[in-house]
Chain A
Amino acid sequence: MIKKNIKSTPSVSLDNVSITYGNSVAVKNVFCNIEKNQVTSFIGPSGCGKSTVIRAINRMNDLIEGCKLSGSVIFEGIDIYAEDIDPVEVRRKIGMVFQQPNPFPKSIYENIAFGARVNGYKGNMDQLVEESLTKAAVWDECKDKLNESGYSLSGGQQQRLCIARTIAIEPDVILMDEPCSALDPLSTLKIEETIHELKKNFTIIIVTHNMQQANRVSDYTAFFNTEKKDKDLSGKIGFLVEFDKTKKMFTSPNQKSTQDYISGKFG
């Protein structure tokens, strides 16, 4: 059930991670090693805790009151939930792209420059802006209006701007929480192409509801499912069912529930 991958040193590894909101357990006992410079996708039905887990990787859950994590999240050999860890530094190494495109209410240029500046970037800012936007495949669309508001772009362009903003701070890992759920198929396709380009330099973890997308973009896939709690029948606990190479997951998964989910029998 729990597959450990020990071929190379993982970028991020989740070691018996359980996350609770207040008194209710959201997800329990996740073991998972995420490989460097690979795309790993998290799939599973709603409420299975995949977004909760991805937010745990750069300590975004700190913002949610009453959210607690047990177990450890190891990034490059360091437990990021240790007492002396500064979450701000963690987020500089592990960037995040959110479900809704959320550019800052600033110009396109400033959207990129802001993150770079708070991270103490000293190089050529114009160059960084161009490079980041090019890597995120949105440079051609906004090179003529760098001084216009980020909100003047379309939804798909905004999302790629947000990806560019994340790339600009040169993190090691990029987390994407359903980055295409608010976008049309064409924008989705562009973002997927962007992801293919990005994995040369970054480790990418993507949460998606779309199994075809997971199949298209990812090298590894983790399938999460829910189970009913013992006492409380209404609550659900998420857990990791299976984690393997995407190819294997989509052709011959070990678990029956993975097979059922992937072939569309539930979810």
Chain B
Amino acid sequence: MNYTSQKSLTYNPSLARNIGNRTLTIISALFAFISVLPLILVISYVLIKGGSYINIETLILEPEPPGDDLLSAGGIGPAITGTFIMAVIASIISIPVGVGGGIYLTEYSKSGKFAKFIRFGSNVLAGVPSIISGVFIYAIIVSTKILFGSMFSGIAGGISLSILMLPTIIKTTDEALKLVPDDMRRAALGVGASKFTMITNITLPAAFSSICTGVLLALARAAGETAPLIFTALFSRYYITSFDDLFYEMGSLSVLIYNFALEPYEAQNQLAWAASFILVVVLLSLNILSRWIGSHGAFSKNKL
């Protein structure tokens, strides 16, 4: 007998390897728990603390100027609409460009030098700190007053957010289209479809849910950004009332939090908590929505 072996086949908990096994399982489970702890703590803290300040008035009123003599600080209504408007502007710019770029990468220039350059470029762009995007738009749009003489504006804010959304959208479109089996493309071309018809009727619809997921994740990231907006949209306490107001300073939830959380007045701090609550809820729902859409992909049996 060259092997040291137990006589019986039953599980022996005091064996060295079984003890080691259990210890490592416990340690890794512990670390896994610690790694999600910040998420749970941040979200629950914001939800509990911010949730208590949420009421109809907070949601629709305009914020009052800071000062401790006021009973009410007003609300965060303009910031909510501002975030929404800038997210829409960012989407209008980045979705067509990003999806178009992704289509080009996968369907037209599979492995050309230009495609490699774009893929590399969008990876780099994804890693660019958001404040850089803000400074960049400040330099080319805000300080030059290129947008009909306006300086800080909601449009500039939207553009700077679109820069942050772009790489994510290009990448997810690229990846989503790559996941569409080449069989589909051959099938479409085999029945005499042109490349354009193939893309618009077969590959894009097949990749649609994954692309939506990417767009929503990009949107969720952009909507929560503060740094680019400080340089571009600045802040405003008023609702926008006309189209022209897009060319003036615009409030947003993230900048409102930045401004009001640092005020020495309790009322403003409460508004910042309320804004945090709304922001977290919106971002969470965007993430959950994107997961839900992603799980209802095109290649499941029941769905058309």
Contacts and interface: CB of A to CB of B under 8 A. Distances in A.
Contact of A102 (B187, B194, B197): B187
A101 B10 CA distance: 50
Given A114-B201, A118-B197, A149-B303, A105 B184 contact: yes
A138 B81 CA distance: 55
The range of chain A's interface size is: 20 to 34
A249 B189 CA distance: 34
Contact of B304 (A100, A115, A149, A162): A149
Interface residues of B, number: 26
Contacts of A162: 187
B193 interface: yes
B186 A102 contact: yes
Contacts of B186: 60, 63, 96, 98, 102
Contact of B190 (A106, A107, A151, A166): A166
A148 B303 CA distance: 8
A147 B299 CA distance: 16
Contact of A107 (B110, B189, B304): B304
A73 to B, nearest CB: 16
Interface in A173-189: none
A98 B183 CA distance: 8
A70 interface: no
A104 B192 contact: no
A166 B186 CA distance: 12
A119 B192 contact: yes
A115 B298 contact: no
Interface string A143-175: 000011101100000000010011011000000
Interface string A32-69: 00000000000000000000000000101001010000
B185 interface: yes
Interface of B: 110-111, 181, 183-194, 197, 201-202, 205-206, 298-299, 301-304
